[in-house]
Structure 1
Amino acid sequence: MTCYGVLHDFDNMGFQTPVRAFPGFRKAREGVARVLAPRELLKQELRAGDLLSLEGPGQGAALQIAVFDAAGRPALAALGLQPDAELAQETCDIAELLGWISVNGGDSAAGIPACTAKLTGEPLLLKAAAEVTAWICCPANREQLAFGGSAGNATVTWQPAASNTPLLPPLLGDTRDEFTVSRATAMSYEVKKGEIIQIIDVQGQQCSDFTAFNAAELQRGEEKMIDGTATRSMVRRAYPGPGLLDKFFDRDMRPLLNVVQDTCGRHDTFGLACTARGYEERGFPGHVNCSDNISESLSRFGIARRSAWPAINFFWNTWVDPHSHHIMTEESHSRPGDYVAMRALEDLVCVSTACPDDIDPINGWNPTDVHVRIYRPETPLRRAVAYREKEDAPMSISQNSAFHERLEPLTQHFAPARDLWAPVSFPSHGTTGEYWACRNAVTVQDMSGLRKYDIAGPDAEVLLQRATTRNVAKLAVWRGSYTLMCDEAGTVIDDGTLFRLAPDLFRWCCGSEESGRVLETLAQEMGLQVRIHDMRGAMPNLAIQGPKSRDLLRKITFTQPHVPQLDQLKWFGVTVARLNDREGAPFMLSRSGYTGELGYEIFCSKADALAIWDAVMAAGEEFGITPMGSAALNIIRIEAGLAAANAEFAPGVDAFEAGLGFAVDLSKPSFTGKAALERNAREPRRVLKGLLLGCYDVPLHGSPVYQGERQVGVVTSATRSPSLEHAIAIARLGVEHAGNGARLEIGQLDGRMKRLGATVTDIPFIDPQRKRARA
């Protein structure tokens, strides 16, 4: 491949050389700490001189380490280690490692030599003598995982060696070529159909303008390139992302590129690459600009020069202000090593820039380089987006769940659920069919995106009594309760179900990793003797929901006499069971769910996920079992009046305003946020209520609710109810306007030009006594 570059001298273009006045923006070589869950195998690429620090949950814990060179051969000596055992495959989820060994030419059928690292309370420090790949495992058997009481988490910290070369992300496959686009320049290049282009932000917060032309059309004299208007119209959003809406189109609506992976998720498709005129009108004549760079770089292909080039502006953070409708911008969200990977759907001529703008926040005020890799067509690359537990946490790429092998033949409609791909709907039944199956028969749903934490130790109850809003002292063994975590202002941090598996052992199933951080912080502040085990992706789970769910589970559930039997489980009861008989796969079984119907949830090891899925589907065949996706679940949970994060509860909304006061026990001696909630409970200003709409129009989240000309509330969730045969909404209303039967209006078209009449009612909309779930 030939690359044509524009070789401007960036420091002699008539403006001041950028200086690193904002040192906090560029963080390419800091240590990265990752938490290792039970049974998890962590892969870490190492270069010579890199350091690994291993720290366990307590004295006596042990990790297993396997190390390989680029050819898939064992290389423990590169970390100064000697093998003392084989990697215990029954105590870790090893499938990814076996696949990696095979792909890299090793023998995956042979035993895997490993070193057992016994952790004594002090970090174990290892230094790489060569370029290798390390795999670290926190061993645990499947029973420990499902039944509680696993060894806990370890922390693995990687510190890259000091280097003057850029720290690029690991290769995605077999590269055909790669090159760096130096700051303030552009480079054009050719790719063949099927090849993958990876555009990498080397140091973070650096915009890279990009466009592509159909090479065959260029040969015929037609300049058919990516068209931003056609693309936005076809994908119905500002920027295509991995999934169904993932393509860039030309003006004839022919797809040119398929977005496969995107680790940033914030880009611009509204404007042009920067232009000479744009700098001139702000007092910087002669400033190097991307449009001129693009023209010069593409000239060798006979492409006509333009003073302004429309482009996809990767890593440029823009948005449309919802009030002024102005296009806004600020520093990019991209971090060092963030990238976009796209598969060419035609032979293409492409151009990439490293934007020179140093007078706006576009490039973090400090333009840097962009790196481009071209991968061969046979490179296997799954769809993925980036996920971070919090803004400064290490990035992980979205994974397929443990049930994906069974889900993928049934649907291609997946969406990110935290760090996993979760099915949205199944075309064989459709969202409405899935809804009625849950109402009338039984459904199965992959809910593995839930977060699970085991809290163990003599002070576990003390910690949870402080952290949650219900009285944990009243929670019996083999029982669970829906509860909240709040901050000091009474704002809901997270909701979830807390199960008690033993006097000093609890399992918290929730929606956010912030729960785990809150528990860790409180435990340290209070000096408690307790461990918080983050189960991360080690415990996938299924929801079995609907009136036939108990009949299904009777066919496959085996329980020992010392734990509750299936038919003894009341609402929010929990037990431990096995598949079919005493030798079957272990799992935790709870009578819980998010549908308002009779339902159960199964929590198991990844190693047993497919066997459990197959057993559930086989046993459910006579009851008409139907897989269910997130779209149908959302309809059912709204009908059931169940709260969702960033809808009913959100920053600035306390537990009572979120409609979750039933989960707050103000008679408890103390818990975080109690004082604020006591005050707010005495004089509530807003409450959560239902709205019945006499039409099929479904208002959007955030739609204003009016009494005459005055806004008195806001819609938090809405759907079209198949059971009620009209639209319904959950809304947060001022108490003066929240009486049942009150007539209000939901504003559309800027809240003024169109109104939907609505009648205030209680929630749930269906089965207000929860008789279905209690049946």
Structure 2
Amino acid sequence: MIPTARSRNLAAIQHGHIGEELRQTPFHPRLEALAHANDWYAWSGFKAPHSLYDEELEYFAIRSTAALFDISPMTKYRIEGPGAEAFLNRLTLRDVRKLAPGRVHYTAWCDDEGHVLDDGTLFRLAPDRFRLCSQERHLPWLLDSAVGFDVRITDETEAVAGLALQGPCAYAVLRDAGFDGVEKLRPFQLADFPHAAGTVTISRTGFTGDLGYELFVSADLALSLWDRIWQSGQRNRLRAIGYSALNRARIEAGFIVANADFVTAETALREDRLRLPDEIGLDWMVDLEKPNFNGRHAMMEARRTGSLRHVLVGLEVDGNVAGPLSLIYHRQKREVGIVTAATWSPILKKSIAIASLSRPFGISRNDDLWVEIYVLRELQYQKLMKRVRIVPRPFLKLDRRGANPPGLL
């Protein structure tokens, strides 16, 4: 690692975002023009929409036509150099040697005690060049972990703009926009396509459990990319969406969010908030056949001794009232967990939730579980005790997500 580059990066992040005005993404002018709801929130220091017009209509765009979501605030790190593969294999849970150029995989990374620091997507852009995308910022951790590896790490969050195009008409929108050959992309595959005076990287990935793509382009070409997609998408009723609609879709897909469904190791203030991969449903990605990686010994020891304390599960909830951050009880008496995310699914016609339970609940004891929900009715809060059932995730599985070639409506 080049010391001067490390010093520049550390100096840049020391300024932080506290007290600073929220920054605008490269797509903000287009979002602001569509933001009838004027419902904004802060995402990693950027101004982002909860909803632009109506959450219900935005959700149904994901499931019925096509939806466009600005993912530019998502943290993006470029990791490159002769030692990039070895570095990422040491850092993350999955075997990076199995990730071919032009492919993407979902992964996570932990501290030395095996506690999850974050999850995200790893794009292999070339044999020695990667892009790591995540919810939280990890530059100091990455720089410290890179000591001894021949690798360069660059925070390209602001330099690279991103869009998620999701829904059954997503492929049709890209086809009509002139991205010839995009139909050849299989799930978790990526390729570069010409755009304006440069290129756009398109991957068949997303966070909705539907047919979808993510597009990455240099910030100076962002507005021209938006306009190209927006114009071609009108015949397929393309709609721009905010996070509220996306969040409902991701719960249906059973996907988890850092510092929502689990607390990242760097931000946890209490010992009982730390989580091993096995405790948040990420045990399947722990590859014990590859060389040593961060937290490996701690994970193996927890499995050997049976000291895992938590489990993340999917729930169906009686009734039609969602209850995020509601407590879960056994036999309506003993507190055994908490709902981390919940929604009413219009497709399934059910209330569904993701919850963290204390073992053995969720493993060998799944009977007589209840959730305590408080609802506001006629200006007064009422407590509802609703029965819950543990069910597999994803709650909603759509064949079109993995269809090859992608279908047309």
Letter in 1 for 2:8: T
**Does residue 413 of structure 1 match 2:39?**
yes
**Secondary structure in structure 1 of the residue aligned to 2:52:** coil
Match of 1:517 in 2: 140
Task: Pick closer, same or farther for the CA change 1:699–1:477 going to 2, 3 Å.
Answer: same
How many Å apart are 1:667 and its aligned residue? 2.1
| Structure of higher RCO (CA pairs closer than 8 Å, 6+ residues apart) | 2
**Does residue 765 of structure 1 match 2:395?**
yes
State how far apart, in whole Å, the 1-side matches of 2:373 and 2:278 are. 27
Task: Pick closer, same or farther for the CA change 1:688–1:156 going to 2, 3 Å.
Answer: closer
How many Å apart are 1:394 and its aligned residue? 8.2
Residue among 224, 241, 252 paired with 1:628: 241
**Does residue 464 of structure 1 match 2:75?**
no
Match of 2:199 in 1: 586
Determine if contact 1:706/1:713 at 8 Å carries over to the other structure.
Answer: no
**Residue-by-residue CA offset, 1:499-520 (whole Å, 9 max, x unaligned):** 1111111111111212x22221
Task: Pick closer, same or farther for the CA change 1:644–1:391 going to 2, 3 Å.
Answer: farther
Match of 1:287 in 2: none
Match of 1:541 in 2: 162
Residue among 436, 440, 444 paired with 2:68: 444
Alignment of 1:722-741 (within 5 A): 722-738=346-362
**Residue-by-residue CA offset, 1:562-606 (whole Å, 9 max, x unaligned):** xxx422211111111123xxx554211111111010100111111
How many Å apart are 1:469 and its aligned residue? 0.5
**Residue-by-residue CA offset, 1:331-386 (whole Å, 9 max, x unaligned):** xxxxxxxxxxxxxxxxxxxxxxxxxxxxxxxxxxxxxxxxxxxxxxxxxxxxxxxx
Match of 2:271 in 1: none
How many Å apart are 1:468 and its aligned residue? 0.4
State how far apart, in whole Å, the 1-side matches of 2:360 and 2:49 are. 41
Match of 1:674 in 2: 296
Determine if contact 1:743/1:760 at 8 Å carries over to the other structure.
Answer: no
Structure 1 stretches of 4+ with a deviation exceeding 6 A read 390-395
Task: Pick closer, same or farther for the CA change 1:705–1:613 going to 2, 3 Å.
Answer: farther
Task: Pick closer, same or farther for the CA change 1:157–1:736 going to 2, 3 Å.
Answer: closer
Determine if contact 1:484/1:492 at 8 Å carries over to the other structure.
Answer: yes
Instruction: Give the TM-score normalised by the residue count of structure 1.
Output: 0.47
Determine if contact 1:441/1:548 at 8 Å carries over to the other structure.
Answer: yes
**Residue-by-residue CA offset, 1:13-47 (whole Å, 9 max, x unaligned):** xxxxxxxxxxxxxxxxxxxxxxxxxxxxxxxxxxx
Greater helix content? 2
Match of 1:599 in 2: 212
Determine if contact 2:10/2:140 at 8 Å carries over to the other structure.
Answer: no
How many Å apart are 1:397 and its aligned residue? 3.0
Match of 1:756 in 2: 386
How many Å apart are 1:389 and its aligned residue? 5.5
Residue among 658, 661, 664 paired with 2:283: 661
Residue among 191, 206, 211 paired with 1:575: 191
**Secondary structure in structure 1 of the residue aligned to 2:8:** strand
State how far apart, in whole Å, the 2-side matches of 1:434 and 1:672 are. 40
Determine if contact 2:50/2:244 at 8 Å carries over to the other structure.
Answer: yes
Larger Rg: 1
**Does residue 550 of structure 1 match 2:175?**
no
Match of 2:111 in 1: 487
Residue among 214, 222, 226 paired with 1:613: 226
Match of 2:321 in 1: 697
**Does residue 745 of structure 1 match 2:370?**
yes
State how far apart, in whole Å, the 1-side matches of 2:286 and 2:14 are. 27
Letter in 2 for 1:604: V
Count of residue correspondences:
383
**Residue-by-residue CA offset, 1:679-708 (whole Å, 9 max, x unaligned):** 334534322111111212221325334334
**Residue-by-residue CA offset, 1:707-743 (whole Å, 9 max, x unaligned):** 3421222211111211122321111223433269734
**Secondary structure in structure 1 of the residue aligned to 2:297:** helix
Determine if contact 1:596/1:772 at 8 Å carries over to the other structure.
Answer: no
**Residue-by-residue CA offset, 1:264-292 (whole Å, 9 max, x unaligned):** xxxxxxxxxxxxxxxxxxxxxxxxxxxxx
**Secondary structure in structure 1 of the residue aligned to 2:227:** helix
Letter in 2 for 1:549: A
Determine if contact 2:327/2:335 at 8 Å carries over to the other structure.
Answer: no
How many Å apart are 1:665 and its aligned residue? 1.6
Match of 1:155 in 2: 8
How many Å apart are 1:638 and its aligned residue? 0.7
Determine if contact 1:593/1:601 at 8 Å carries over to the other structure.
Answer: yes
Task: Pick closer, same or farther for the CA change 1:658–1:622 going to 2, 3 Å.
Answer: same
State how far apart, in whole Å, the 2-side matches of 1:533 and 1:421 are. 23
State how far apart, in whole Å, the 2-side matches of 1:541 and 1:532 are. 19
**Secondary structure in structure 2 of the residue aligned to 1:408:** helix
How many Å apart are 1:624 and its aligned residue? 0.9
Determine if contact 1:649/1:655 at 8 Å carries over to the other structure.
Answer: no
**Residue-by-residue CA offset, 1:438-493 (whole Å, 9 max, x unaligned):** 11111001111101111111111110000000000111010110000111222211
State how far apart, in whole Å, the 1-side matches of 2:343 and 2:120 are. 23
Determine if contact 1:700/1:718 at 8 Å carries over to the other structure.
Answer: yes
**Secondary structure in structure 1 of the residue aligned to 2:158:** helix
State how far apart, in whole Å, the 1-side matches of 2:338 and 2:262 are. 13
In the alignment, structure 1 segments of 5+ residues that lack a partner are: 1-56, 59-120, 124-151, 159-387, 560-564
Determine if contact 1:450/1:511 at 8 Å carries over to the other structure.
Answer: yes
Instruction: Give the TM-score normalised by the residue count of structure 2.
Output: 0.86
State how far apart, in whole Å, the 1-side matches of 2:123 and 2:198 are. 21
Match of 2:48 in 1: 422
Alignment of 1:337-376 (within 5 A): none
State how far apart, in whole Å, the 1-side matches of 2:348 and 2:354 are. 15
State how far apart, in whole Å, the 2-side matches of 1:749 and 1:421 are. 30
State how far apart, in whole Å, the 2-side matches of 1:747 and 1:698 are. 11
Determine if contact 1:448/1:540 at 8 Å carries over to the other structure.
Answer: yes
Match of 2:337 in 1: 713
Determine if contact 2:328/2:369 at 8 Å carries over to the other structure.
Answer: no
Task: Pick closer, same or farther for the CA change 1:554–1:157 going to 2, 3 Å.
Answer: closer
Alignment of 1:48-447 (within 5 A): 155=8, 396-411=20-35, 412-427=38-53, 430-447=54-71
